[in-house]
Amino acid sequence: MRKIAFVFPGQGSQYVGMGQDLYNNNASVKDIYIKANETLGYDLKDLSFNGPAEELNKTFRTQPCIVTASIAAYKVLIDSGVTPSITAGHSLGEYSALVAASVMSFTDALRLTEKRGIFMQEAVPAGVGLMAAILGLSRDVINKICTDLKTGYAACANYNSPQQIVIAGETAAINEAIELCKKAGAKRAIPLNVSVPSHCSLMIDASNRLNSALEAIMLTTPEIPIVNNADAMKLSNVDSIKSSLVRQLNSPLLWEDSINVIIESGIDTFIEVGPGKALSGLIKRIDPEVSVFNVEDSKSLDNTLKGIS
């Protein structure tokens, strides 16, 4: 019997048309999009399916749209009889994971991620911050480079896999770090097309505002274990989950560590639930031995159901 983990993607996985195939083929998914539209007061379905991309890519729009597409994929998996033993999400994806673990309602996750997007955007004015992906350098080398920068603040933000670390910080400092990483032997060092520098101390103001917003949200004890980003630990109570969501914004995202914790708990199969395959690629680099599937439309659902049966 396979032990399955559901993992949920974060920002950057969005694309115009995500969720549309599942919507067209599943009545339960139609209900999810109706509820999303009613909760947020605009046509999230139309934005997700038809764009424009410029609007979809605004952080406060992106976040609830990805959560909705992810919960749609989750619903069709559950309806197909596939249930997880454990769950996790990459950054924003942690909110979808909390819905899957029955910690947070879908509608609360929508409202909260819309606010989270606004808080993040307002914490750092456009152009002030930047993120970059560094491939092929160790944590220690990249940490040392960030510590020694002359032009400002940068820090490791996402420990995504043994080969990929993302840094975040002030624009000039990130550009300096990119050049230093290249000189140190990085295979690639490239700026990312994101509007805010997440998971670093530039997000402290956003974290504080998120903490206040969380006070109004009803959370309940997880029905299945959830492994968090901030500590790469299994969380089992509401207070630790609240604290984790707040710290997640301004501290490094421990994705590689989280996946290793899940594998050590006896999981041999991962399903990426939601748009894209970014997490699938990272998980295969962390441990090539595990089975990895994704569900974002009818075809990938069919492939996954065949693969795990």
Residue 131 near residue 194, CB atoms below 8 Å:
yes
Single out the residue in 194, 212, 233 at which a domain terminates: 194
Q: Match 């049966």 to its residue by tokens.
A: 309
Q: Across the strands, what pairs with 71? A: none
pLDDT at 158 (0 to 100): 97
Q: Which of 13, 70, 198, 199 is catalytic?
A: 199
Q: Are residues 226 and 94 part of one domain?
A: yes
Cα 90 to Cα 74: distance, rounded to the nearest angstrom = 15
Q: How many CB atoms lie within 10 A of CB 65?
A: 28
Report the interhelical angle of 106-123 vs 93-100 (nearest 10°).
160
Across the range 242-259, mean pLDDT stands at 97
Is residue 67 domain-shared with residue 166, that is, in the same domain?
A: no
Would you tell me how many other CB atoms lie within 10 Å of the CB of residue 20? 18
Q: How far is CA 130 from CA 23, 183, 266, in A?
A: 35, 20, 37
CA 171 to chain centre: 23
Residue 93 and residue 139 in one domain = no
Go through 150-182 and write b for each residue having 16 or more CB atoms within 10 A of its CB, e for each that does not: eeebbbbbbbbbebbbbbbbbbbbbbbbbebbe
List the CATH number of the domain containing 36.
3.40.366.10
82 and 135 housed in the same domain: no
Element (H, E) at 180: helix 171-183
Amino acid 259: pLDDT: 98
Active site (annotated) includes residue 91 = yes
| CA dist., res. 130 & res. 306, Å (int) | 41
Kindly report the CATH number assigned to the domain that includes residue 149.
Answer: 3.30.70.250
Cα separation values, 125 from 73, 121, 182, 202, Å? 34, 7, 28, 11
224 with 100, same domain: the answer is yes
pLDDT of 131 reads 96
Question: Which of 251, 261, 259, 248 lies closest to 160 in space, CA to CA?
Answer: 259
Give the CA-trace dihedral at 109, 115, 117, 121, to 10 degrees.
-170
Say if residue 167 is in the same domain as residue 215. no
305 pLDDT higher than 80: yes
User: What share of the chain has pLDDT > 70, as a percent?
Assistant: 100
100 and 154 fall within a common domain: no
Query: Could you say which of 194, 215, 244 is where a domain stops?
Result: 194
Q: 144 and 168 share a domain?
A: yes
pLDDT of residue 190: 96
Query: Is residue 15 located within the same domain as residue 98?
Result: yes
Do residues 100 and 135 share a domain?
no
Q: Which of 91, 198, 244, 251 is catalytic?
A: 91
Note if 199 is an active site residue. yes
Checking DSSP bridges between strand 86-89 and strand 4-8, what pairing results, if any?
A: parallel
| pLDDT of residue 1 exceeding 80 | no
**Overall average pLDDT of the 221-237 stretch:** 96
Which pLDDT tens digit goes with each residue over 106-153? Answer: 999 999 999 999 999 999 988 899 999 999 999 999 999 999 999 999
H/E stretch holding 272 reads strand 269-273
pLDDT score at 222: 97
* Domain enclosing residue 188, as ranges: 129-194
What total number of domains does the chain contain? 2
For 8-45, the pLDDT digits (tens) are: 999 999 999 999 999 999 999 999 999 999 999 999 99
Q: What is the mean pLDDT of residues 94-101?
A: 98
Identify the domain boundary among 144, 160, 194.
Answer: 194
Q: Do residue 148 and residue 115 come from a single domain?
A: no
Same domain as 230, residue 138: no
